[in-house]
Structure 1
Amino acid sequence: MKNRIITSVFTFFILWASQLSAQDLKIGAKGGLNVASFGGDFGDVGPRAGFHLGLYCNREQTDRVNLQAELLYSLQGVKIEDEDIRANLSYINIPLLAQVKLPEIVEGLSAHGGLQFGFLLSANQKGTFRGNSVDRDIKDDFKGLDASFVIGAGYEMDSGLNFGLRYNAGLNDINNQTDEDADAKVNNQVFQIWVAYQLWSN
Structure 2
Amino acid sequence: MKITKSEIVISAVKPEQYPEGELPEFALAGRSNVGKSSFINKMINRKSLARISSKPGKTQTLNFYLLNELLYFVDVPGYGYAKVSKSERAAWGKMIETYMTDRKPLKAVVLIVDLRHPPTKDDIMMYDFLKHFDIPCLVVATKADKIPKGKWQKHLAVTRKALQIEDGDALILFSSETGLGKDEAWKFITDYMND
> Structure 1 length normalisation: TM-score?
0.22
Structure (1/2) with the larger helix percentage: 2
> Structure 2 length normalisation: TM-score?
0.22
Structure (1/2) with the larger strand percentage: 1
